[in-house]
Amino acid sequence: MRRRDFLKTMGIAAGASTIPFLKFMPAEAAGRDGTLVVVTGNGPNSMDIQRKGTNRPSYQIAVNLYDRLVGYSTKKLENGTLMYDYTSLEPEAAESWTIAPDGKSITFKMRKGATFWDGTPITAQDVKWSFDRAVSLGGFPTVQMKAGSLEKPEQFEAVDDETFVIKLLRPSKLTLPDLGVPVPIIFNSTLAKKNATADDPWATEYLHRTPAGGGAFMLERWDPGQQTVYKRFDGWKNGTLPGVERVIIRQVPSASTRRALLERGDADVSLDLPPKDFAELSASGKFSISGVPIENSMTAIGLNLNFEPFANKLVRQAIAYSVPYDQIFKQAAFERGIPMWGGKSKTPATIEWPQPFPYDTDYDKAKDLLKEAGYANGFDVPLSFNLGLAQWSEPMSLLLQESLGKVGVNVTIDKIPGANWRTAALVEKKLPMHIKNFGGWLNYPDYYSFWVYEKGRLFNSMNYDNPKVQELTNATLHMEVDNPEYAPKIKELIGIFFDDVPLIPVYQPYLDVAMQKDVTGYKYYAHRQLDCRLFTKVTS
C-alpha cells in the first residue's frame, strides 16, 4: 500500500461496523447494570505475568486479580485524571512496613483477615513463595525484580504468618516502588504447589490458565482471543471494594468497530483507538476522554547495530536527520503527544526524561553524513512495525519510507503480526529498523537506560552496547536523585544517547482512553492497562 492510498482510508466512517457483540457476554450482563464493558484491540495471552512471553494486556490480570504487598497512592492531574504516584506507597496486602535503622531490611506486617478467593488466609509464606518464584523463573519478571535489587530467594524471609522481611542487598531508590509494579503479585502458594510437578516446580502451566489469587476481582471466564470476564470478590479486604460487580473486556481487533460500539453505547470504555479517533471523540464533547503523556515513554525508531550500516554512528545520525518528525506527529499521531525532536544542544541542560533530542529534518546534513560514512549511494533496509499497533505505526512507516528515500535509503516495509512482535523484535532482536514504543514503569532516566540501552536487556532491540552507558547506569540506578553525583552522571548518560542515537525518538505518546459520561474512576498507570478496582458507573 502506498502512503497516499493509506491516508485516504483514515477517513472511512466507523459507524458501518456491526458485529454480534453482545452474544459473547454472559446472559446476566445483557442489562449491564453493575457491569463495565471494555473494548480493546488486544487481549491477554496468559493469566500469569511471571511466565516468559506474557504480553502487555496480561498485566491487567496481575493488577485486578492479584494483590501486591503495597500499591501506589493517587494524585490528580490538571485535567482531572487520576494518576498513580510511585513516590508515595499505600498498604495493600501489607498493612504496614518498617525500614530497619541500619537500612539493611524492610519488615512488612500482613493484613489480618485477608484471604484468597478459596478462603485460605494470605500469609507471609505465600509472599515468600511468590517472590522466590519471581526471581527464579528468569526473563522479564526476574529482571524487573532485579531493578529493585530483589535478586535472590535468600533475601526473603517469612518470620511467621504475619511477618515478611526483605533483606536488602544495597540501598536503592527503586526497591519500595518496585513492589507496586504488576510483577511481584502474591499467589495462593498452597493451591499453586498442589498443581506443581517435578518438571514444573513453579506451576507455570497451571497458573498460565488458572489464576490463584485473592485480588479484588476473580476470573469468571477467559476465552482467549475473544474476551476476559472478571467478577468482584466480595470478600476482598485489601482495599475498598470495586464500584462495579463485573467487568467484561472484549477483544475487538477492528478499531472502527471499537469506536462504533462506544458511540452506540454498547461499550463503556474503549482502548487502543487511533490518535485520529481520540482527537475526533474529544472534539465531539459526548465522551470523557483521558489523555495523559505516558511517563518514561517514547515512540521511536530503533536502529539495530547488527545491521552493517547502522553499526556506523554517522549513519545513525544521518537517519535521525532524515525523519519527517512534524509530518509523523501531525499525520500519524494527530498531535496526541509531546514532540521529542528539535533539541537546542547536544549537551543536555537538565535531567528531564524524556527530553527532545538535538535532531530535526535536514536532508542536506543527512546526505553529508552518509557520504562521510561511505554510503553516498544509500542502502536498502527493511522497516518493521507491529500490526497490532497499525493505526499509528503504519502511517508512520509510510512517511518514513518516503522521507528516507530522499537521501537514497531504500525502505521496504515489513508488517509483523502482533502475536509475533515480541519474539522478533525483543527476544531474537533481528529487525534492522523498527518502530518502538517502550515505556518504563518507574519514571527515572537511569531506569529507562537499564531496560533499553544496556547490553542484552529485553527492550534493547537495537543490540546497542556501550560500556560507558553500562557504567553510568549501574552508578545511578539505585542512587537517590538528591545525591550530588546523580545529575552530572545522568546528563552525561543522556548526552551519549544524543550522540550515539541507536534510538531516534519522535514523540512522547499520550495514553488515551475514551469513556461514557456515566463512567468514573479511571486511573492512569504507566503499564497502560486498566485498574478496574476504582471504576464506578453512575446510574440514573
CATH superfamily of 27-248+516-537: Periplasmic binding protein-like II (3.40.190.10)
HEC string of 36-63 equals EEEEECCCCCCCCCCCCCCCHHHHHHHH
Question: Are β-strands 379-386 and 433-436 bridged in parallel, bridged antiparallel, or unpaired?
Answer: parallel
* Among 209, 204, 182, residue whose Cα is nearest residue 193: 204
- Amino acid sitting at position 192: A
Q: Which CATH architecture has domain 299-509?
A: Roll (3.10)
Integer angstrom CA distances of residue 511 from 229, 254, 404: 23, 19, 28
Helix (H, G, I), strand (E, B) or coil at 519: strand
For the record, the C-alpha cell of 293 comes out as: 503523556
User: How far is Cα 191 from Cα 119, in angstroms, rounded to an integer?
Assistant: 11
Q: What is the rounded CA–CA span in Å between residue 61 and residue 530?
A: 9
Q: How many helices (H) and strands (E) does the chain have?
A: 17, 21
State residue 78's pLDDT score. 80
- CA 202 vs CA 130, 194, 303, 319, 335: distances in Å: 9, 10, 37, 46, 45
Helix (H) or strand (E) holding 231: strand 227-232
Domain ranges of the chain: 27-248+516-537, 299-509
Strands (E), 360-502: 379-386, 409-416, 433-436
Assess whether the previous peptide bond of 509 is cis (omega < 30° from 0).
no
State pLDDT tens for residues 422-454: 889 998 999 999 999 888 888 999 999 999 999
Taking 50 as the pLDDT cut, the residues of the chain under it are 1-31
Three-state helix/strand/coil letters over 165-195:
EEECCCCCCCHHHHCCCCCCCCCCHHHHHHC
CA separation for the pair 24, 37 (Å, rounded): 12
337/42 Cα distance (integer angstroms): 22
Q: Closest Cα to residue 439, out of 420, 424, 452?
A: 452
Count Cα neighbours of 39 within 13 Å in the Cβ-side half-sphere.
Answer: 26
Cell of 284: 465531539
Phi, psi values for residue 150, rounded to 5°: -110, 95
DSSP, res 422: I
Q: Which is it for strands 156-160 and 163-167: parallel, antiparallel or unpaired?
A: antiparallel
CA triple 466-468-470, angle to 5 deg: 75
Report CA-CA distances (Å) from 471 to 143, 419, 463, 481: 18, 35, 17, 17
Q: Per residue in 370-426, pLDDT tens?
A: 999 999 999 999 999 998 788 899 999 999 999 999 999 999 999 998 878 888 999
- Between CA 388 and CA 394 the distance in angstroms is 10
| pLDDT value at residue 97 | 97
Q: Which of 162, 170, 181, 6 is nearest to 84 (CA)?
A: 181
